[in-house]
Amino acid sequence: MKHRIIVAACAALAALAAPAAQAQWPERPVTIIVPFPAGGGTDTFARPLAQQLGMQLGQSVVIDNKGGAGGTVGAGVAAKAKPDGYTFFMGGAHHALAPSLYKSLNYNIQKDFVPVALLAQPPQVIVINKQKLPVKTLGEFIAYAKQHSGEINFGTAGKGSTHHLAGELFALQNGIKLVDVPYQGAGPMLSALIGGQVDLAFDGLGSSANHIRAGSIVPLAVASAQRSPAFPDVPTAKEAGVPNYEVSTWYALWAPAGTPKEAVDRMTAEVVKALNQPKIKEIWLANGSATPNLTGAAFGAYVDSEIGRWAKVVKDSGVTLD
């Protein structure tokens, strides 16, 4: 009888101790793999978020940039990371394009990751180098592009990136021919645009915002249903005469499949908390994005819908990658 009492007491203590042990996550720094070079649109949101999460979690949250192949190199690294709750992956719209673009990938965004949360959803913006293109409106650009078919180039963050497919979609919708020039990320692409190596770009507003404010590049239109509060003077594509052109360069957080549920749940809760902080809201707004509220399975369903949407664009444009 005494033995049974001792066993029961030990079991009860173990049950009480389990939640306490789980609540200790994280016990060391957490890494977020960003699959693009530093200085691009992903970094615009990743670094302020990492700093805020670090303050909330009481541990450093480190950004690890692993660029290459339109974000697929970093995604492959993240998919194979140890699923112990200390590695997360910040990808985005690029990873909804990849399944239709690449004949083979060493990861599956729907199977190898657990969806955590949508983080930001800035619209794309059509930006030009004003020294290279003698136009002031989107309508003028389309007319100019028709007169100079195949002579105008646009920079992208890599073959198969959102920037690339957004440009292909725009060309298809408007009956023009543009030449894509791939770079290793949005940062190098914007440097090329500012330097005049390319004529224009279909970029996420998050990475273009500061350059627009500085006057280094000129926006013709935002690809959203409403004007951006950050740039109220820039018309929407619809207002500028292109009614069906809506594209956002969204960013999101995943965990490698097999990551402990308590770590995923805690990170999800902390992300929601972080996105509601006034400082984060201010940074997001300045870069053309609201702070979304889409997590877990609902966010996963959104990714599924985006994969289906871009599969059609890939098919219609004829773009393929090895």
pLDDT of 121 higher than 60: yes
Q: What is the sign of the dihedral through the CA atoms of 156, 205, 224 and 217?
A: negative
Is 14 part of any domain?
no
What is the number of structural domains in the chain?
A: 2
pLDDT interval class at 180 (50, 70, 90): very high
Is 9 part of any domain?
no
Residues 95, 155 within the same domain: no
pLDDT of 215 higher than 70: yes
Higher pLDDT: 23 or 145? It is 145
Residues 77, 169 within the same domain: no
CA distance to 15, 226, 307, per residue, from 6 (Å): 14, 67, 56
The CATH number given to whatever domain includes residue 174 is: 3.40.190.10
Residue reference for tokens 């009481």: 58
Please give the residue range of the domain that contains residue 107.
30-121+250-317
pLDDT of 3 higher than 70: no
Predicted confidence at residue 288, as pLDDT, reads 86
The CATH number given to whatever domain includes residue 93 is: 3.40.190.150
Residues 206, 297 within the same domain: no
Residues 117, 44 within the same domain: yes
Predicted confidence at residue 15, as pLDDT, reads 46
Mean pLDDT throughout 186-199?
95
Q: What is the sign of the dihedral through the CA atoms of 57, 205, 209 and 95?
A: positive
pLDDT of 106 higher than 50: yes
Residues 203, 263 within the same domain: no
Mean pLDDT throughout 26-48?
92
Residues 143, 290 within the same domain: no
**pLDDT tens per residue across span 222-265:** 999 899 988 999 999 999 999 989 998 899 999 999 999 999 99
In angstroms, the CA 123 to CA 135 distance is 22
Predicted confidence at residue 322, as pLDDT, reads 61
Predicted confidence at residue 270, as pLDDT, reads 98
Is 105 part of any domain?
yes
Residues 44, 104 within the same domain: yes
Is 147 part of any domain?
yes
Residues 172, 275 within the same domain: no
Is 2 part of any domain?
no
Residues 108, 205 within the same domain: no
pLDDT interval class at 200 (50, 70, 90): very high
Is 293 part of any domain?
yes
pLDDT of 19 higher than 50: no
Domain boundary among 220, 240, 260: 240
Is 163 part of any domain?
yes
Is 1 part of any domain?
no
pLDDT of 187 higher than 90: no
pLDDT of 320 higher than 90: no
